[in-house]
Amino acid sequence: MCKPVLLACDWGTTNLRAWTLDAAGAVVAEKDFSLGVSKLAPGEAASRFESEVRPGLDATGLPAILCGMIGSNLGWTTVPYADCPAGLADLAASLTVVADGVRIVPGLRCDGLAGAPDVMRGEETQVLGWLAQHPERRAGRHLVCHPGTHAKWVLVEDGRIARFVTAMTGELFAVLGRHSLLKSEAPADDAAAFDEGLAAAGRGDALAARLFTARARVVGGKAESDSTPSYLSGLLIGAEVASVPGLLGEAPKHVALLGDAGLCARYRRALERIGVAVEAFDGEAAAIGGLFALGAPP
């Protein structure tokens, strides 16, 4: 087995995913920890990292690099955002040292909608890792979609993240499915209802009105209530893919999906339905690539 040279962590709101990497960036060991920042008391991250994460991966003494919400006001310390446009070199120059040999990736900020900024933490490491995996991706213009609770649509130009837009699609799906008249315990696994939702999404406009169709199709029609979560998922994702790229000035012909395979499959279905070519890539591999590119010892 190769010797580990780096401890890399993607530390999010609900979970911590950690790897030790060798000198070539290959995974030596990996482990999940139920240490999301939302579960930590203020000031607790540093001690839990030293007492649980390092020994859990036999990584005591290794240099460490962390990305994600651990750099937010809920995490270890608030790490200032770097501004777009930004590439690997920009983020590497903005890493924040929080302990001996431990650095946190800053996340990114860009001009957002209605005069407010938009921000991301963690997704930038995946996108830049995706670029680092294949040097040819660093040339030209790419539109990358990172599906999730807060989906990110990222415009990449010549190896740098130029700007991005966040869509709260995943969170909206969760809130509506738990706390509204659309709430249901049924799984969102009905492909026909999902496609029906995609069709109902139209151009993504008038979403508040389109959402009520999820209720009306059941109480005023013949749809089964158990199909509502799948319909709602299709409606929300369909509205997102139809409208959000335009906020970046894009009418995409090709989108790179980066993230969880199951969620990427839903976005692929929605994008291909409107004639957009899609390639999907493993988000975890991209995160590892980005953390290694930013944190590898010289």
Query: CATH second-level architecture of 167-281?
Result: 2-Layer Sandwich (3.30)
CA distance 108 to 165: 12
Structure tokens at 22: 């060798």
**Helix locations, 81-212, DSSP H:** 88-92, 123-133, 169-179, 191-200, 207-211
For residue 132, the model assigns a pLDDT of 94
Helix (H, G, I), strand (E, B) or coil at 238: helix
**Residues β-bridged to residue 22:** none
Structure tokens at 155: 């415009």
For residue 118, the model assigns a pLDDT of 98
Is there a common fold for 6-137+286-295 and 167-281? yes
Q: Please state the pTM of the whole predicted model.
A: 0.96
CA distance 56 to 52: 6
For residue 2, the model assigns a pLDDT of 86
Task: Collect all residues with Cβ–Cβ distance below 8 Å to 170 and sequence separation of at least 6.
Answer: 147, 148, 149, 150, 151
For residue 35, the model assigns a pLDDT of 96
Residue 249: left (phi > 0), alpha (psi -120 to 50), or beta? left
CA distance 225 to 182: 9
Domain boundaries, the chain: 6-137+286-295, 167-281
**Residues β-bridged to residue 199:** none
Domain 6-137+286-295 falls under CATH 3.30.420.300: yes
Mean pLDDT, consecutive 10-residue segments, the chain of 298 residues? 93 97 97 96 96 97 97 96 97 97 97 95 97 93 97 98 98 97 96 98 97 97 96 98 96 96 98 98 97 93
CA distance 298 to 294: 11
Furthest CA-CA distance within the chain:
65
CA distance 100 to 103: 9
Note whether 126 and 146 are within 8 A (CB): yes
Task: Give the DSSP H/E element, type plus range, for residue 154.
Answer: strand 151-157
Helix (H, G, I), strand (E, B) or coil at 49: helix
For residue 295, the model assigns a pLDDT of 96
DSSP annotation of 39 reads G
